[in-house]
């Protein structure tokens, strides 16, 4: 047996698939032989480069022993023994096989078989057949992606599970995730009909889901007799998905004769069922017959012996002995079934299924199938019924008004398909070609610089022998041609065409028929097959010819994959914008990987930007621009310009629907009066970033935060009063700055976030107090509405604190100016208008800061997806005892490190628009954390709350490592042992640090270490309380305002 590491690919990549649960520790593909295993490794290596496999998952390809067909049961046992050998090296102190597998999440996809009925994809394996659907890269999805994506949805218990799936069936689970947590073995079944049950395994179960019987391909009479037909006439049809816990895994390996030798610390296989399978004494042990049937309570050993063992292994006494041992070990293992509602799973095993079922699924809208994927140059008018994948037509044309499937092909001349055709891997075709109805053509790269071309009929199975009616291709009337007729036509002898085979055994698979040479040589020597009247060319006899087994041995997988990558690059250059618009979750890095050349990138960038300019949906335009920026050199001036325009498009999506107030005709206060607005600060506890456009617009937001007083005071304040001078005077108390605004044009220049007056200018524009036309004279306007305006703002919080100061100050000033204008906005209007203010200032924030300061106390804000983001605020009540415990254990420290959220925000928003996995897949986790924390607060569980803010801190750092710094980590390290959780509020990168200590004693220790002489440089503790009131406005006399 080959060493484990010889068949292992240790992948350490960023996964592109969203994984709501823990990622698997192992992904295993089984293969028919070492040649197929080589093809699978090449395909998996490509997925590693594309980032489609989850991080930390070891990938293993295991061929059947000696290239013999050992069956799904035999290969399952082989895989588990191989993994056990690796696990025992990692855990030499394990006392049992069950202990070895505890905590391991293992996915096994059975994908052996020669794919003879889908010969075009035999060289790469049926499981990697390209389908007309998107994956998380620029490459098309394959059955592997569709199956693996479903399996990643399973919520596997922490004690570990082995998941075994069939590589033939795509289940399309969607949101119907089966519960596979029951002990022992869990099968997954679909409710289906008798017609389908006759071709699959069938479960019989009681109302609790406990399996009482299991059978294979029963007749209707047998199904009724064994009570498989349920009251609604449905039958539980096996999906091929089986899940085993560690105890069931141990029982299976015990039955296979696999044991752990504790003395030597090694896995022993000799002298049991698996050993006999490996040595060829026993073949084709099926998971669903020999194994699952042995577990069913109805099955007694005498029935098992007669119905399974002697039928499948007649006269094999070794098989009887070994399978009796397997039965004894497995029988009695807990066995249940998770039933899913009626559904059509997809099976693509033949040429005709590939053609017909993909068209059927396109009509249904399932799997994301469409009739074009990664294509360029194929007008719909000429290829209405064609399914085309990874193909381009330069100056050539593809003509077909009948169903056909084209993949990996490059046309430089006219190709006519008459219908029911498969065309795979066609190189740059420089002469006309016509494929009659029912013919399939596949071009396979051989060795380093050669090709072979397969020509066959759509219903040829490459399995049926000459004497049993095996066929190859079709005659001029569309009838299958018997293999023997080709011998007559070519004059080849049986030995020349089928060396070492007899008519009893020889099939098209064995035919040494396929010429090897340059593309043009091979085409000219094989196309005679399409016409009965064409004479066999001398080149067919003269050229080297090989059979399918040798094709699999000599195929150049790098050229196979590289040819399609080259086509994909050219197609994406033309269609990159369409891909971004159609595939909402396509990562921009997929375009980076698929467009390696500068010339392709330049052209793609131009088309992306041109489309972005004309795109009416600002978020789609932003995604197009973001994709273009990722194709540029990082840090270039052009990239910075594009990123600015991307953020402007996001701003459009936020602000273009908000109705602004009417212009103010007269200021509503007296010259002796002042409007005062005050608000608390806030810290966020969970859900951060989900409130940020465009994230909240596309997915909705959920943020839990708290309004807080600092040192018992509202830390944020704005006042407005009339001035005798016809200008606008702005003063910042904390910044010790004063500025006089004398022109409307000055006010309209409000998009510089580094200008401290930008916030005031934006608020003035949103209030209706100043003209919307920058050309209007400000002095005349102010005189007409009652006089000049004096504005004073004060934030008693350090700049870059992370407490939402800028946004809350914006809300406070908006409320203040609204009162000055004689209006009084509600909370909802203030929150939404503040979001517009953020966009006008180019700080681009979300809505949670203003929710935090406008609404009192502890609450969660939620929005639904959509352009109008109007957060619904739900206040969270807690007990007095909980509030006291929180006050005693919560600590707020200013770290001394200031930061500006804008750069962090641009990176996060940019990553989201680019569909970076690290950002895109983290957002749902943030929202889920917020909803969990609501329950933790209501139950009074402060430890759970602390764990929740710790999780938020981890997710923030996962989103962007710039969320923390060395200084901040050193502060946390000083008190880490005494903390139950901590987080930097806001975007992170500096500002305040919120900590919850393990208990009151630990809180005293933290406060002592972080205060006085031992405190970090520039850091200090701040006293805070939950604010029982949110944003407040009032009108008072100027004298009282000064006293206040």
pLDDT of residue 394: 81
pLDDT of residue 365: 72
Is the model's pLDDT at 576 over the cut of 90?
A: no
- How much is the CA Rg of the chain, to the nearest whole Å? 35
pLDDT of residue 8: 33
For the segment 493-522, what is each residue's pLDDT rounded down to a tens digit? 999 999 999 999 999 999 999 999 999 999
Cα(834)–Cα(246) distance, integer angstroms = 55
DSSP annotation of 878 reads: -
DSSP annotation of 21 reads: S
Q: Are 385 and 400 in contact (CB under 8 A)?
A: yes
For helices 557-582 and 618-630, what crossing angle results, to 10°? 150
Find, among 978, 932, 935, the residue nearest to 955 by Cα: 932
CA angle (252, 256, 258) in 5-degree steps: 95
Cα(959)–Cα(926) distance, integer angstroms = 11
Cα(547)–Cα(540) distance, integer angstroms = 14
Cα(529)–Cα(545) distance, integer angstroms = 15
Distances (CA, A) of 623 to 377, 585, 698: 24, 10, 12
3-state helix, strand, coil in the chain (%, to 5): 40, 20, 40
Q: Are 379 and 396 in contact (CB under 8 A)?
A: no
Of residues 195 and 78, more confidence is placed in 78
Is the model's pLDDT at 986 over the cut of 50?
A: yes
Percent of the chain with pLDDT over 70: 96
Q: Give DSSP secondary structure letters for 810-855.
A: HHHHHHHHHHHTT----HHHHHHHHHHHHHHHT----SHHHHHHHS
First to last CA, the chain: 85
Residue 465 φ/ψ region, left for φ over 0, alpha for ψ in the -120 to 50 degree band, beta for the rest: beta
User: For residue 463, what pLDDT band results from cuts at 50, 70 and 90?
Assistant: very high
pLDDT of residue 51: 74
Q: Give DSSP secondary structure letters for 226-286.
A: TT-S-TTS-EEEEEEEEEE-HHHHHHHHHHTT-EEETTTTEEE-TTSHHHHHHHTSS----
What number of CA atoms fall less than 13 Å from residue 387's CA on the CB side?
25
User: For residue 844, what pLDDT band results from cuts at 50, 70 and 90?
Assistant: confident
Long-range contacts, stretch 664-667, CB < 8 angstroms, 24+ apart: 664/767, 664/768, 664/769, 664/785, 664/821, 664/822, 665/785, 666/785, 666/786, 666/822, 667/722, 667/769, 667/785, 667/786, 667/787, 667/789, 667/820, 667/821, 667/822
State mean pLDDT over 296-322.
91
Q: Which two tokens stand for residue 778?
A: 């400000």
Helices (H), 171-231: 194-197, 220-225
The sign one gets for the Cα dihedral 708, 711, 712, 714 is: negative
Helices (H), 365-479: none
For the segment 893-932, what is each residue's pLDDT rounded down to a tens digit? 999 887 655 578 889 999 999 999 889 989 999 999 999 9
Query: Would you tell me how many other CB atoms lie within 10 Å of the CB of residue 234?
Result: 18
Q: Are 798 and 806 in contact (CB under 8 A)?
A: no
State mean pLDDT over 1010-1038.
90
pLDDT of residue 739: 96
For the segment 518-574, what is each residue's pLDDT rounded down to a tens digit? 999 999 999 999 998 889 999 999 999 999 999 998 999 989 989 998 898 888 888
Q: Are 873 and 856 in contact (CB under 8 A)?
A: no
Question: Where does residue 960 rank: exposed (0-12), middle (13-18), buried (19+ CB within 10 A)?
Answer: buried
Phi and psi, residue 302, nearest 5°: -65, -35
Is the model's pLDDT at 248 over the cut of 90?
A: yes
pLDDT of residue 19: 43
pLDDT of residue 362: 76
Please give the domain boundaries of the chain with CATH numbers for all domains.
4-340 (no CATH), 347-556 (no CATH), 560-652 (no CATH), 673-875 (3.30.230.10), 880-1026 (3.30.70.890)
Cα(811)–Cα(956) distance, integer angstroms = 25
Q: Which two tokens stand for residue 510?
A: 């064995």
State mean pLDDT over 869-887.
95
Phi and psi, residue 640, nearest 5°: -60, -40
Contacts of residue 97, Cβ cutoff 8 Å, sequence gap at least 6: 84, 249, 250, 253, 254, 258, 259, 260
State mean pLDDT over 417-440.
91
DSSP annotation of 140 reads: B
Q: Which two tokens stand for residue 448?
A: 């380093």
Q: Which two tokens stand for residue 916?
A: 């970076």
Report the SS3 class of residue 864: coil
pLDDT of residue 746: 96
Q: Are 112 and 31 in contact (CB under 8 A)?
A: yes
* Average of per-residue pLDDT values in the chain: 90
Of residues 109 and 340, more confidence is placed in 109
Is the model's pLDDT at 175 over the cut of 90?
A: no
Q: Find the helix or strand (DSSP H, E) in which 885 lies.
A: helix 880-889
Cα(597)–Cα(605) distance, integer angstroms = 12
Q: Are 845 and 766 in contact (CB under 8 A)?
A: no
State mean pLDDT over 755-773.
95
Residue located via tokens 């109008």: 868
DSSP annotation of 692 reads: S
User: For residue 413, what pLDDT band results from cuts at 50, 70 and 90?
Assistant: confident
Residue 94 φ/ψ region, left for φ over 0, alpha for ψ in the -120 to 50 degree band, beta for the rest: beta
Find, among 417, 420, 428, 423, the residue nearest to 393 by Cα: 428
Report the SS3 class of residue 135: coil
pLDDT of residue 10: 31
Buried b (16+ CB within 10 A) or exposed e, 975-987: beebbbbbbbbbb
Which of 111-125, 357-371, 712-726 comes out lowest in average pLDDT? 357-371
Cα(785)–Cα(770) distance, integer angstroms = 10
For the segment 196-228, what is each residue's pLDDT rounded down to a tens digit? 778 888 999 998 999 999 998 888 998 899 998
State mean pLDDT over 609-621.
94
Find, among 814, 809, 817, 843, the residue nearest to 828 by Cα: 814
pLDDT of residue 589: 85
Q: Find the helix or strand (DSSP H, E) in which 337 lies.
A: strand 335-340
The neighbouring-strand residues paired with 110 are 30, 166
Cα(145)–Cα(235) distance, integer angstroms = 28
Query: In degrees to the nearest 10, what's the CA dihedral of 319, 325, 327, 330?
Result: -140
Contacts of residue 927, Cβ cutoff 8 Å, sequence gap at least 6: 687, 690, 699, 700, 701, 702
pLDDT of residue 901: 53
Residue located via tokens 């009626």: 342
Q: Are 709 and 715 in contact (CB under 8 A)?
A: yes
Cα(862)–Cα(878) distance, integer angstroms = 19
Of residues 399 and 108, more confidence is placed in 108
pLDDT of residue 113: 79
For the segment 438-456, what is each residue's pLDDT rounded down to a tens digit? 999 999 999 989 999 999 9
pLDDT of residue 1041: 57
Phi and psi, residue 886, nearest 5°: -60, -45
Report the SS3 class of residue 675: strand
Laid out side by side, the sheet with 433-435 consists of 398-399, 415-417, 433-435
Which range, 52-61, 656-665, 680-689, 912-921, has the best average confidence (pLDDT)?
680-689
Beta strand 1032-1037 pairing with 992-997: unpaired
State mean pLDDT over 835-847.
90
Q: Give DSSP secondary structure letters for 897-939.
A: ----HHHHHHHHHHHHHTT-HHHHTTHHHHHHHHHHHHHHHHT
Cα(516)–Cα(444) distance, integer angstroms = 10
State mean pLDDT over 1032-1039.
87
CA angle (918, 922, 926) in 5-degree steps: 155
Question: Where does residue 207 rank: exposed (0-12), middle (13-18), buried (19+ CB within 10 A)?
Answer: exposed
Q: Compute the residue count for the chain.
A: 1044
Contacts of residue 607, Cβ cutoff 8 Å, sequence gap at least 6: 573, 574, 576, 577
Q: Which two tokens stand for residue 991?
A: 């500002």
User: For residue 13, what pLDDT band results from cuts at 50, 70 and 90?
Assistant: very low
Residue located via tokens 């799904």: 72
For the segment 106-120, what is each residue's pLDDT rounded down to a tens digit? 999 999 878 899 999
Cα(552)–Cα(540) distance, integer angstroms = 21
Is the model's pLDDT at 5 over the cut of 70?
A: no
State mean pLDDT over 172-200.
88
């Amino acid at each position: 047996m080959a060493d484990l590491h010889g068949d292992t690919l240790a992948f350490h990549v960023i996964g592109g698939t969203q994984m709501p649960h823990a990622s698997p520790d192992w992904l295993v593909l089984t293969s028919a032989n070492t040649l197929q295993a080589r093809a699978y490794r090449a395909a998996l290596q490509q997925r590693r480069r594309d980032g489609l496999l989850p991080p930390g998952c070891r990938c293993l390809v295991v061929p059947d022993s000696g290239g013999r067909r050992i069956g799904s049961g035999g290969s399952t046992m082989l895989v588990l023994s191989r993994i056990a050998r690796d696990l025992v090296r990692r855990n030499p102190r394990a006392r049992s096989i069950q202990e070895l597998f505890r905590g391991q999440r293992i996915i096994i996809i059975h994908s052996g078989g020669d794919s003879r009925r889908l010969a075009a994809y035999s060289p790469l394996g049926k499981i990697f057949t390209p389908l007309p659907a998107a994956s998380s890269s620029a490459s098309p999805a394959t059955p592997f992606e569709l199956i693996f994506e479903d399996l990643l949805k399973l919520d596997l218990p922490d004690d570990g599970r082995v998941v075994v799936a069939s590589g033939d069936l795509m289940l399309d689970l969607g949101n119907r995730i089966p519960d596979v947590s029951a002990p022992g073995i869990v099968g997954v079944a679909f409710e289906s009909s008798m017609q389908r049950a006759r071709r699959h395994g069938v479960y019989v179960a009681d109302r609790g889901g406990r399996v009482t019987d299991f059978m294979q391909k029963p007749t209707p009479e047998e199904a009724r007799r064994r009570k498989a037909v349920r009251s609604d006439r449905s039958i539980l049809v096996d999906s091929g998905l089986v899940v085993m816990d560690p105890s069931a895994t141990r029982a299976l390996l015990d039955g296979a004769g696999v044991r752990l030798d504790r003395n030597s610390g090694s896995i022993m296989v000799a002298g049991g069922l698996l050993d006999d399978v490996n040595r060829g004494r026993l073949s084709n042990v099926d998971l669903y017959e020999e194994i699952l049937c042995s577990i069913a309570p109805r099955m007694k050993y005498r029935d098992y012996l007669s119905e399974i063992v002697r039928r499948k292994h007649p006269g094999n006494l070794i098989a009887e002995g070994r399978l009796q041992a397997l039965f004894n070990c497995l029988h009695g293992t807990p066995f249940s079934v998770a039933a899913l509602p009626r559904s059509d799973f997809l099976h693509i095993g033949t040429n005709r299924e590939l053609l017909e079922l993909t068209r059927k699924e396109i009509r249904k809208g399932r799997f994301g199938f469409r009739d074009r994927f990664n294509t360029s140059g194929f007008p719909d008018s000429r290829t209405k019924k064609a399914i085309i994948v990874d193909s381009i037509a330069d100056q050539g044309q593809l003509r077909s008004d009948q169903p056909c499937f084209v993949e990996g092909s490059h046309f430089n001349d006219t190709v006519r398909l008459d219908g029911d055709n498969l065309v795979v891997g066609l190189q740059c075709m420089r002469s006309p070609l016509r494929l009659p109805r029912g013919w399939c053509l596949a071009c396979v790269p051989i060795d380093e610089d050669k090709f072979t071309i397969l020509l066959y009929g759509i219903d040829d199975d490459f399995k049926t022998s000459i004497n049993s009616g095996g066929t190859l291709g079709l005659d001029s009337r569309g009838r299958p041609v018997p293999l023997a007729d080709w011998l007559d036509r070519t004059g080849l002898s049986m030995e020349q065409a089928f060396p070492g085979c007899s008519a009893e055994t020889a099939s098209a698979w064995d035919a040494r028929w396929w010429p090897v040479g340059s593309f043009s040589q091979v085409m000219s020597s094989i196309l005679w097959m399409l016409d009965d009247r064409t004479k066999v060319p001398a080149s067919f006899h003269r050229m080297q010819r090989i059979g399918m087994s040798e094709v699999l041995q000599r195929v150049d997988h790098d050229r196979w994959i590289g040819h399609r990558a080259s086509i994909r690059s050219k197609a994406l250059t033309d269609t990159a914008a369409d891909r971004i618009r159609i595939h909402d979750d396509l990562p921009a890095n997929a375009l980076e990987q698929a467009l390696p050349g500068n010339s392709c990138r330049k052209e793609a960038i131009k088309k992306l930007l041109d489309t972005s300019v004309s795109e009416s949906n600002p978020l789609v335009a932003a995604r197009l621009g973001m994709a273009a920026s990722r194709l540029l050199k990082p840090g270039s001036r052009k990239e910075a310009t594009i990123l600015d325009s991307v953020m402007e498009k996001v701003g459009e999506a936020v602000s273009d629907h908000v109705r602004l107030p009417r212009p103010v005709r007269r200021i509503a206060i007296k010259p002796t009066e002042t409007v005062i607005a005050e608000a608390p600060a806030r810290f966020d506890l969970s859900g951060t970033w989900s409130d940020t456009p465009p994230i909240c617009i596309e997915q909705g937001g959920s943020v839990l935060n708290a309004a807080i007083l600092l040192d018992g005071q509202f830390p944020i304040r704005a006042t407005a009063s009339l001035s005798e001078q016809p200008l606008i005077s702005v003063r910042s108390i904390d910044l010790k700055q004063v500025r006089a605004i004398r022109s409307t044009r000055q006010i309209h220049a409000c998009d510089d976030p580094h200008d401290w007056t930008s916030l005031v200018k934006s608020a003035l524009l949103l209030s209706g107090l100043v003209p919307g036309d920058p050309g209007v004279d400000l002095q005349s306007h102010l005189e007409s509405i009652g006089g000049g305006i004096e504005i004073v703002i004060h934030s008693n919080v350090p700049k870059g604190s992370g407490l939402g100061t800028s946004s809350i100050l914006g809300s406070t000033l908006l409320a203040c100016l609204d009162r000055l204008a004689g209006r009084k906005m509600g909370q909802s209007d203030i929150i939404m208008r503040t979001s517009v203010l953020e966009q006008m200032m180019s700080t681009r924030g979300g809505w949670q800061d203003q929710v935090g300061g406008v609404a009192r106390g502890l609450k969660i804000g939620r929005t639904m997806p959509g352009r109008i983001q109007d957060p619904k605020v739900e206040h969270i009540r807690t007990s007095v005892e909980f509030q006291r415990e929180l006050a005693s254990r919560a600590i707020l420290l200013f770290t001394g490190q200031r930061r500006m959220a804008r750069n962090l925000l641009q990176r996060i928003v940019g990553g989201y628009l680019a569909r970076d996995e690290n950002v895109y897949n983290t957002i749902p986790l943030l929202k889920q954390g917020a909803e969990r924390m609501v329950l933790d607060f209501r139950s009074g569980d402060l430890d759970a709350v602390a764990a929740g803010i710790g999780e938020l801190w981890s997710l923030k750092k996962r989103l962007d490592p710039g969320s923390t710094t060395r200084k901040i980590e050193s502060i946390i390290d000083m008190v880490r042992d005494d903390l139950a959780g901590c987080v930097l509020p806001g975007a992170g990168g500096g500002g305040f640090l919120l900590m919850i200590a393990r208990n009151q004693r630990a809180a005293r220790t933290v406060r002592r270490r972080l205060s006085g002489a031992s405190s970090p440089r520039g850091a200090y503790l701040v006293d805070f309380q939950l604010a029982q009131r949110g944003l407040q406005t009032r009108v008072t006399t100027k004298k009282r305002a000064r006293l206040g």
